[in-house]
Structure 1
Amino acid sequence: MKMKKTLIALCMTAGLLASVPGITFADVNIVPQNTSAAPSIPRDALQQLSWTPVNTSKTQTVSLATAGQRVNVPGIAGPVAAFSVPANVGELSLTLSSDVNKKSGVFAPNVLILDENMTPSAFFPSEYFTYQEPGVLSADRLEGVMRLTPALGQQKLYVLVFTTDKDLQNTTTLLDPAKAYAKGVGNAVPSIPDPIARHVIDGVVNLKVKTSTSSSVLVGPLFGSSGAGPVVVGNTAAPVAATTTPAPAPAPAAKSEPMLNDTESYFNQAIKQAVAKGDVDKALRLLDEAERLGSKTARSTFISSVKGKG
Structure 2
Amino acid sequence: MDGSIYMDIRTRIVALIFVIVLSAGCSQKPKPEDTMLAPVCCASLETIPFYQIANPEFKQRFEIAPDTSPVFEFESGVSTFQAVRLPEHVGTINFRVGSVLENQVFFPYFLVLDEKLSVIQKVAASRENIRYGTIRKSVYVDTQFELDTNPYNLGSARYVVMYTKPSEIGLFTSFKSAETLRSDEQGYAPPIAADPTLPHGYYGTLQVEISPKTFGNVTNQQLKEKEARTAEKTTPQATSNNVSPVVVAPVVVDEPATAVPAKSKPSSQMLQESEDFYNQLITTFVNEGEVDKALKLVEEAEKAGSKSARDAFIEAVKNK
TM-score, with length taken from structure 1: 0.53
Q: Is 1:56 paired with 2:60?
A: no
Deviates more, 1:187-196 or 1:90-99: 187-196
TM-score (norm 2): 0.52
Q: Counting strand residues as a fraction of each chain, which structure ranks higher?
A: 1
- The answer to whether the 8 A contact 2:96-2:209 is kept is yes
Q: Distance in 1 between matches of 2:75 and 2:266?
A: 48
Q: Is residue 243 of structure 2 the alignment partner of residue 236 of structure 1?
A: yes
Q: Which amino acid aligns with 1:105?
A: Q
- 2:114 corresponding residue in structure 1: 115
In the alignment, which residue of structure 2 is the partner of 1:243? none
CA distance in structure 2 between the aligned counterparts of 1:184 and 1:202, rounded to whole angstroms? 33
- Partners of 1:171 and 1:201 in 2: how far apart? 13
Identify the residue that residue 246 of structure 1 maps to in structure 2.
none
Change (3 A) 1:237 1:57: closer
Larger radius of gyration: 2
The whole-number CA distance in structure 2 between the counterparts of 1:86 and 1:159 is 11
Q: 1:95 to 1:63 in 2, by over 3 A?
A: same
- Report SS of the residue matched to 1:72: strand
2:206 alignment partner in structure 1: 205
Say whether the 8 Å CA contact 2:90–2:151 is kept in structure 1: no
Aligned residue number for residue 72 of structure 1: 73
Q: Aligned partner of 1:236: which letter?
A: V
Which residue number in structure 2 is paired with residue 149 of structure 1? Answer: 148
Displacement of 1:57 after TM fit? 1.8
- In the alignment of these two chains, the number of paired residues is 194
Cα offset, 1:121, TM superposition: 1.1
Contact (CA 8 Å) 1:88, 1:154: kept in 2 or not? Answer: no
Q: Give unmatched runs, 5+ long, in structure 2.
A: 1-41, 216-221, 247-263, 268-320
Equivalent residues of 1:88, 1:153 under 8 A apart: no
- Give the structure 1 partner of residue 194 of structure 2: 193
- Tell me what 2:132 maps to: 133
Counting only pairs closer than 5 Å after superposition, residues 264-275 of structure 1 correspond to structure 2 as none
Amino acid at match of 1:122: Q
1:151 to partner: Cα distance: 4.7
Identity score, percent: 16
Q: Which digits, 9 at most, give the CA deviation of each residue in 1:259-296, with x for residues without a partner?
A: x9999xxxxxxxxxxxxxxxxxxxxxxxxxxxxxxxxx
Unaligned runs of 5+ residues in structure 1 are: 1-42, 215-220, 240-259, 264-310
Contact 2:127–2:141 (CA under 8 A) maintained in structure 1: no
Q: Distance in 2 between matches of 1:111 and 1:94?
A: 11
> 1:78–1:202: 8 Å Cα contact kept in structure 2?
no
Q: CA RMSD in A?
A: 3.6
